[in-house]
Amino acid sequence: MRRIGILTAGGDTPALNATIQGAVVRANRRRVEVYGFIKGFRSLLNSHVPHVHLNPLFTEIPELDATRGGTIIGASRAYVDANDKETMVQIAERLSLLKIEGLICVGGDGTLNGLQPFAELFPTVLAPKTIDNDLGLNHRNEPDEWVRIPTPEPPGYRYEKTQSRTAFDLEQIVKYATPGYATSVFVSVEGVQRVRTTAESHRRIAIVEVMGRQSGYIALGTAYGQPDIVLIPEHPVNVERLVNRVRELYELQKNVVIVCGEGIVDESGQGLGDKQISHDPAGNVILTGAAEALCQLLVDHFGDAYFQNYRRAESAKAAIFTRKVGHTQRGGRPILFDRFYAAQLGGKAVDMLLEGQNNALSILQWSRGKGFHVESYDGNAFRDRWGIIHARNMHPSFYDPELMRPSRTGIEYLLPIFTNAIGHADVEHLRESIFDAGSLFRPYHSVNTDINKRIRYLELD
């Protein structure tokens, strides 16, 4: 191959530029040109295919910086309908006109789900990214554990995972961690630590909601911030146990910090973050998240009198507050773990294309003997019997539902990722950049301004 393309798809993740740089560095060594497609799949849907030559004369462009969050080539959640054969053929023709011989998609489970139609027309591989850490398998046979349950609602069925019969071990995990996850946990941990001091000072109960969809990896990782209680989507919230534990802690230390994943569910399996029917003063329906629902649950159970009797607040609503770490988990400078392994996975994706691999992805593996190492894996092996790739749930052994904290196995899972996740350069950057006096005088300069000057288009006759 002489020329390959790369695009970033889906939601933002801190280490996308590191993945792109890793791919470009490897391509330079192997004398391969790399074109970056602007705004993910949206570029391929545009007949002019806006793109940037990322390594002219096999030298990476200066805008490509592994420590910069986000992606310099832009991303979008646009995807290509696999059933739209005409559009797929048009995309293949456009890539052929650009002399693109292989494509790297940087994305998560949604991107991998849509990879196969591309792979049937031209060589395509995936370099993984997601803050949720839900792209992967707890063991190789996990896709076979999914079944279809008939339902009266369209499309007439739902997917459900049966109980695993496979003895679990950390070394069996397929794709141990994903670039973006460590930085997301780092941001969440700092948020929990900052909320703690407010809760302590004002005798409050704080509920911190973190991202993760239906996966509890981010919530599990925030245990580094020492919250009192961690609630994850994989284990339904036991209300009685939760209320008793909150009361016990509050009476002991006069404050409680709870971390909840955005996808937590009640004992019936209903998501606490789903739409709650309540109204504002104008009569409009208010949409609330998991933290707000959990807050209301505690308000209802404790009541105003409980806090008034302790003279700690005038009402339960005043005593219990919520905070969402939100999209700050997705952005900003990636920490060392994410930067380093994102670059490795990007480089591996280039090697995979040049080796003739197709419909595959680069993965980060871990073993007790080798530590972290990069491998390739067949993308089809992630699919269930109906061809669907499901987001990975955290293995149930990682969590202790009685203590509402990470279990011993969960701690063993986290330690290899985070023990040396922050580098000296991360600390030095913080010291030098946060209160740089020049920031008071210089306006922000967006990298988009520079990249826009480099965008080229497919010339059509």
- At 275 the pLDDT is 54
The answer on 344 and 277 residing in a single domain is no
Helix ranges, 207-280 (H) = 217-221, 239-253
Position 156 in a domain: no
The answer on 134 and 12 residing in a single domain is yes
The answer on 365 and 271 residing in a single domain is no
The answer on 356 and 286 residing in a single domain is no
The residue type at 416: P
Q: And the tokens for 292?
A: 């707000």
The answer on 343 and 260 residing in a single domain is no
Position 371 in a domain: yes
The answer on 325 and 354 residing in a single domain is no
Domain count, the chain: 2
Distance of CA 179 to the CA centre of its chain: 8
Beta pairing class for 33-37 and 51-53: antiparallel
Task: Encode the chain (461 residues) as per-residue pLDDT tens digits.
Answer: 999 999 999 889 999 999 999 999 999 999 999 999 999 999 999 999 999 999 999 999 999 999 999 999 999 888 888 788 899 999 999 999 999 999 999 999 888 888 888 899 999 999 999 999 999 999 999 999 999 999 999 999 999 999 998 999 999 999 999 999 999 999 999 999 999 999 999 999 999 999 998 999 999 999 999 999 999 999 999 999 999 999 999 999 999 999 999 999 999 888 887 655 554 343 433 445 899 999 999 999 999 999 998 888 899 999 999 999 988 889 999 999 999 999 999 999 999 999 999 999 999 999 999 999 999 999 999 999 999 999 999 999 999 999 999 999 999 999 999 999 999 999 999 999 999 999 999 999 999 999 999 999 998 76
Task: Provide the CATH number for the domain around residue 211.
Answer: 3.40.50.460
Rounded CA-CA distance 109/135 in Å is: 5
Q: And the tokens for 85?
A: 């054969």
The answer on 433 and 363 residing in a single domain is yes
Rounded CA-CA distance 67/49 in Å is: 27
Position 163 in a domain: no
Neighbouring-strand partners of residue 14:
none
The answer on 380 and 320 residing in a single domain is no
Position 61 in a domain: yes
The answer on 343 and 324 residing in a single domain is no
Rounded CA-CA distance 57/231 in Å is: 51
- At 77 the pLDDT is 85
The answer on 193 and 68 residing in a single domain is no
The residue range of the domain holding 369 is 3-139+334-391+423-452
Task: Provide the CATH number for the domain around residue 23.
Answer: 3.40.50.450
Domain final residue pick, 278, 302, 329: 329
